[in-house]
Structure 1
Amino acid sequence: MSPSQKRHKWSKKRIALTIALVFATLLLIIRVSLPVAIEWGLNERILNNLGDYSGHVEDVDLALIRGAYVVESLTITKNGGEQYKPFLSVRQTTIGVDWRALTQGELFLEIIIREPKVNFEDAANAEDAQSGQGGNWQTLLDELTPVAINTLHIHNGELNFFNRDSDPKVHLSADKINLSVANLTNIKNASGERIASAALNARLFGSSPLSAEARFDPFDFNDFSVAVKTDNFQLKQINDFARAYGNLDFAQGHGNIYAELQASNAELNGYIKPFFEDVEILDWQQDVEQQNDGVLQFLWEGAVDIVESIFNNQKTNQLATQIDIEGTLDNNDVQTWGAVWGVVKNAFFAAFEEQFNRITPLTPIDEDANAERTGGES
């Protein structure tokens, strides 16, 4: 090889090396500057334009291999008034490519939200209350997710309701919330269906399990099915709320709550079925000796307890009813008198059946109850 050929070969290598170095430098600049730019855009342009609310993020990072960016420590608070807690705080949010959708030739997003906390507040002063109303949430969602969302996961969430101005102060909570929502963009699943699904598990008031399932058309909310169940719900867990808003409390009582809703072409039907045992509203030691309730308060709770005793099934010591819901999605009707009749019927005619009515395809089948109703026939 002649000297000129060697110089030419070296020149080509140097050009290739230079191009590689420039490309690597550009990637490094993008890797370093893009998270900073995203963080600045979120804090200065988006989170300060949420209507009655404003927010802040601590950090943004990139996960290039996963095709995602990660938002650390998002906090959103209400503007004005005095709130006990931020309206929303999220430890970490990952927004990235939904690889399952990508294998089907579709570019959609998957969002993973870790440890979100939502705090609702009621207050004597309307400015101190916070419900989320007045927030420009659609703008936030559009800016965070420029591509349509297909899958959503929430891990270890928490939902709180506070009232610091009531007597007594109220705090209701649901924690350990885990939610998975799939197929929001209506991609065909393995069975060829275009139906979105959601599954929720949580804990109410620190001890009562809550589970829910739903199936729906993400582009037409006139058709859906929802089934919800709570287990081992303790009435004493809501005593602060009952005293503050209903002027009574529970000495004891436990049970389950079932609910189902189904809509077809905007026609809604369903029910809420509370089933409680050993309900006791009045307790002398609790109400008089410990709480120092006045005579009027004691008489009020006594009257409520008398009504509860009349409508309680004396044989099974159960209190239950079914609140039917029907109508259209624009004008649904909760049949309160149907609930009253359900209590009367339970008290005087028949023991209440503790289970779902199975009006949706989500409801589990009780094989033992089904066999009993059919006389054991298979």
Structure 2
Amino acid sequence: MGLIVAISFVALLVVGRLILPYVVLNYLNKTLANMKGYRGHIEDVDIALIRGAYKIDSIYLHKLDTAKDKETPFFAAYNVDLSVEWKALFHGSIVGELVFERPMIRFTKDKVEPKQVRNDSTGFKKLLDDFMPLNVNRVEINDGEIQYKDEFSKPKVDLALTHTYALALNLRNSYDSAALLPASFTMRADLYEGKLSLNAKMNPLADDPTFDMNADLKHTNLVKLNEFFQAYAKVDVNKGKFGLYTEVAAKKGNFAGYVKPLIQDLDVLGKEDRKDNIFQKMWEGFVGTVGEVFQNQSKDQVATKVEFKGSLKNPDTNVWSAIYNVLENAFIQALQPTIDHEINIASVDTKKEEKKNVLQKVFGKKDEPDRKKDKAERKKERKEKKKKKKEQRKEKSEKEASGNNV
């Protein structure tokens, strides 16, 4: 009798294991079908019980435009592996990890709804929450692609980060870390012959955004971005390389950082533009002239450094500092094409007095206390003038009254 029970139990496990992938596949496809504003499908599901994982093969998710009966690709992946993270399990935390192979995510600029990118991000997060029952502590992306499309511009804009590798670790702080920034994120990608690199330390569980990040983009070919420039700047780029260097840190609702873009060998007007109309040639000539004026002649580059700091509720980008650095780069010295390593989590302090350059002192806005003081003084002056005019009118009326009596 005991042998029969044991055989029956084993048989039940085998049958359950055989039908489990179909049950999970049906549940996931049903979830995709019920997502408002989206439509998706999964080709197959593989179960790995020993590893505590399941793998999704060939998934896609499209955005729906019911008014136009149109579907727009939003997300797709060759496969997605969802599993328990064993490293965290050994630390007593039950969390999950996600591994994406050849994923693609596309953000589109909607003509009617300018907040579409934010809505897309919310929809993608909901999808992950439905598919992964555990809190995610580790995410890895292999050979991914991030696209941006604007089908309403002329010409249409189609940009993409390709060959993207990204790794996020300890997002739920499951390794018992007492560090201020226990989680990390690294990213590498290609952008039209250029290389993007991003490194960050962060605390995703903090009440306010808390992170320390640096990134650089080197040697992107501007010619390959001509659709973008033609659509948004109305110029053609015949030659040029673009780089960008940035550091940003934030804690307790405050932030500090800088962005340092550099353009080398810029040429926006050449023999390739002979067929342009006279107005297009005039505009491109103006852009080219501005680029030449603000160009460091020894290194043939246009560059500036925009520093910013403040509160996340009231960001304040230092515009005058940007203008000053353009002039300094053009006529004094070229900015070095590297990260400056001057921003970190300890440098975030909005109460520290900001040093002002010459342009800021002459043309820049006054500090908040000064503005309040000036406003109060102007109000007082207006009140005194109004009082004086009232007294003058009263005195005049009294004189007229005494004259009439005489």
Unaligned stretches of 5+ residues in structure 1: 1-14, 363-378
Match of 1:344 in 2: 327
One-letter amino acid of the counterpart of residue 26, structure 1: L
1:128 CA drift (Å):
12
2:225 matched to 1:238?
yes
- State the secondary structure of the residue aligned to 2:316: strand
Q: What is the TM-score of this pair, normalised by structure 2? A: 0.78
Residues 133-159 of structure 1 show CA distances to partners (whole Å, capped at 9, x for unaligned) of 265444322221211111111111001
Deviation string for 1:219-247 (max 9, x for gaps)?
01421011111121222121110011110
CA distance in 1 between partners of 2:342 and 2:116 (Å) = 36
Provide Cα deviations, 1:40-68, integer angstroms capped at 9, x if missing partner.
11222x21233322222111120122210
1:256 corresponds to: 243
Matched, 1:318 2:304: no
* 1:175-214 equivalent positions in 2, closer than 5 A: 175-188=162-175, 195-205=182-192, 207-214=193-200
* Conserved? CA contact 2:163–2:189, under 8 Å: yes
Distance of 1:194 and 1:357 partners within structure 2: 21
- Alignment correspondent of 1:297: 280
* Partners of 1:152 and 1:56 in 2: CA distance: 22
Residues 138 and 161 from structure 1, CA distance in 2 versus in 1: closer, same or farther, beyond 3 angstroms? closer
Paired residue for 2:10, among 24, 34, 49?
24
CA distance in 2 between counterparts of 1:79 and 1:32 reads 34
- Alignment identity in percent? 31
Q: Which residue is 2:77 aligned to?
A: 90
For the residue of structure 1 that corresponds to 2:324, the secondary structure is: helix
Matches within 5 A, 1:54-65: 54-65=39-50
User: Aligned with 2:236: secondary structure?
Assistant: coil
1:72 maps to 57
- If each structure's helix is expressed as a fraction of its own residues, which one has the higher value? 2
1:307 is aligned to 2:293 = no
Q: Deviations over 1:291-349 (max 9, x none)?
A: x2111001000011111111111233221101122211222223333222211111112
- Aligned 8 A contact 1:83 1:128 in 2: no
> What is the CA-CA distance between 1:257 and the residue it aligns to?
1.0
Provide the C-alpha distance between the structure 1 equivalents of 2:114 and 2:262, rounded to a whole number of angstroms: 36
Q: TM-score, normalised by structure 1?
A: 0.83
Distance in 2 (CA, whole Å) between partners of 1:307 and 1:129 is 33
Unaligned runs of 5+ in 2: 346-406
Matches of 2:210 and 2:113, distance apart in 1: 37
User: Cα distance, 1:256 vs. partner?
Assistant: 2.2
Whose Rg is larger?
Answer: 2
Letter in 2 for 1:210: L
The CA RMSD measured in Å over matched residues stands at 2.4
Amino acid at match of 2:51: R
Contact 1:85 1:119 in 2 (8 A): no
Paired residue secondary structure (2:328): helix
Aligned-pair distance for 1:88? 0.6
Equivalent of 1:172 in 159, 166, 171: 159
